[in-house]
Amino acid sequence: MKHLVASAVALLLTVAAPIVTASDAQSEPLRIEITDGVVAPLPYAVPDFVAENAAASTLARQISRVVAADLSGTGLFREIPKAAYISSITNFNSPVQYADWKAINAQALIVGAVHVNGNKVTVKFRLFDVFSGAALGDGLQFGGTTTSWRRMAHKVADAAYSRITGEGAYFDSRVVYVAETGPKNDRKKRLAIMDYDGANVKFLTDSRSLVLAPRFSPSGDRVLYTSYESGFPKIYVLDVASVGRRALANQPGTMTFAPRFSPDGKTVVYSLSSGGNTDIYRMAVNGGTPVRLTSAPSIETAPSFSPDGKQIVFESDRSGSQQLYSVP
């Protein structure tokens, strides 16, 4: 598909180049100014996935719609409406009629099939480059429960997106956030997670206490956050699957806040306030003795690991104004 992009750029430059007469060329040098790029969404088709048994008919249609929503939502793809289709996909293994899809200007074709057995669902798909008349990578198959069908749809979209653009995908991801409800004078805050597109909302805490600054672990199975349920800020680590939680660095007479996971998810760095002084500490996420990293009469806060985990950057007013510092 790269030749299509190159052709479009060449055409753009040809149209943008001004006509220069011989007298103009003698008076001043030719200058071509390119101010903006033009990226046209790639037209693609995603027919309803084939239902391999009667129980799969609804999910087959729903999964194909989520795949289309994922891709079109990026702005890089444009779905061709089904009313324009010449061919239909009724069998996952049938040969692709490339001429029919090329006639409606589809550059990519996503074909899939769904099978449901009880609460188990299997989704398989193939991606085709219509203009080259060949599959774009191998077919893939995902399995799960009927309640996880949206995640499998996101995985299909992830694979298609990565193969076409060459970039990392993000559709099969979740967001952790603070959900607020109630009137302005009595707002209730709860931790919640959802799919990147706002679906599958799940609350992780109740609204009895203020919660702030949730952070996913690198693996996505745990969440760090700050809670005021004791009246003072304390850090908690929560297991997403079981919703079980425990206080981290629960030292009497102290306040803990601003936690961050290390890149490997094994260590947490945070701020601890005791006796009116705030310093940076580090400890293993599974427990252990906290390690003090700073010792100054200033306020040290907002720590964060470097991408390689070898440095910790934090904010301090030790110089008289807020500045960034780092420690190993």
Residue-level pLDDT at 197: 93
DSSP annotation string for 101-162: HHHTT-SEEEEEEEEEETTEEEEEEEEEETTTTEESS--EEEEEEGGGHHHHHHHHHHHHHH
pLDDT, residue 25, reads 45
DSSP-derived pairing of the beta strands 77-79 and 42-45: parallel
Decide if pLDDT at 321 tops 90.
no
Q: How many CA atoms lie within 13 A of 10 on its CB side?
A: 6
Distance CA 211, CA 240 (A): 16
Asked if 204 and 191 count as a contact pair (C-beta separation under 8 A), the reply is: yes
Enter the tokens of residue 157. 């979209």
pTM: 0.76
- Which residue reads 């009895």 in tokens? 208
Apex 139 CA angle, 135 and 145, nearest 5: 150
How far is residue 39 CA from its own chain's centroid? Answer: 22
Sequence spans of domains, the chain: 42-165, 174-327
Beta-bridge partners for 282: 269, 291
Among 48, 19, 47, residue whose Cα is nearest residue 32: 19
Q: 106: closest CA among 76, 134, 79?
A: 79
| 251 or 157, higher pLDDT | 157
The mean predicted confidence, pLDDT, of the chain is 87
Distances (CA, A) of 269 to 96, 300, 301, 307: 54, 12, 10, 14
Long-range contacts of 292-297 (CB under 8 A, 24+ apart): 293/269, 293/327, 294/327
Reported as a single tens digit per residue, the pLDDT across 81-129 is 999 999 999 999 999 999 999 999 999 999 999 999 999 999 999 999 9
Asked whether this chain's domains 42-165 and 174-327 adopt the same fold, the reply is no
Nearest to 156 by CA among 110, 121, 117: 110
Beta strands in 162-209 (DSSP E): 174-181, 188-195, 202-203
Name the region of 180 (left: φ>0; alpha: ψ -120 to 50; beta: rest).
beta
Looking at residue 169, its pLDDT comes to 85
What CATH number does the domain located at 42-165 have? 3.40.50.10070
Angle subtended by helix axes 57-72 and 149-165, to nearest 10: 40
pLDDT above 70 (res 26): no
pLDDT at 131: 92
Integer Rg of the chain from CA: 27
pLDDT: is 253 or 39 the higher one?
Answer: 253
Flag whether pLDDT at 3 surpasses 90: no
Using one digit for the tens of pLDDT, what is the confidence trace for 59-87? 999 999 999 999 999 999 999 999 999 99
Q: Which has the minimum average pLDDT: 10-14, 138-142, 286-290?
A: 10-14
pLDDT at 252 over 60: yes
> For 259-277, what is each residue's pLDDT tens digit?
999 999 999 999 999 888 8
Could you give the 3-state DSSP secondary structure of residue 298? coil
Q: How far apart are the first and last CA of the chain?
A: 46
- Indicate the CATH number of 174-327 among 1.10.10.10, 3.30.70.100, 2.120.10.30, 1.20.140.10: 2.120.10.30
Please, how many CA atoms are within 13 Å of residue 13, restricted to the half-sphere of its CB?
A: 7
Instruction: Report the pLDDT averaged over residues 282-307.
Output: 89
- DSSP β-bridge partners for residue 12: none
Predicted pLDDT of residue 30: 64
Sheet with 245-247, side-by-side order of all strands: 211-216, 222-227, 234-239, 245-247
- Rounded-to-5 percentages of helix, strand, coil across the chain: 20, 35, 40
Helix, strand or coil, per DSSP, at residue 54 = helix
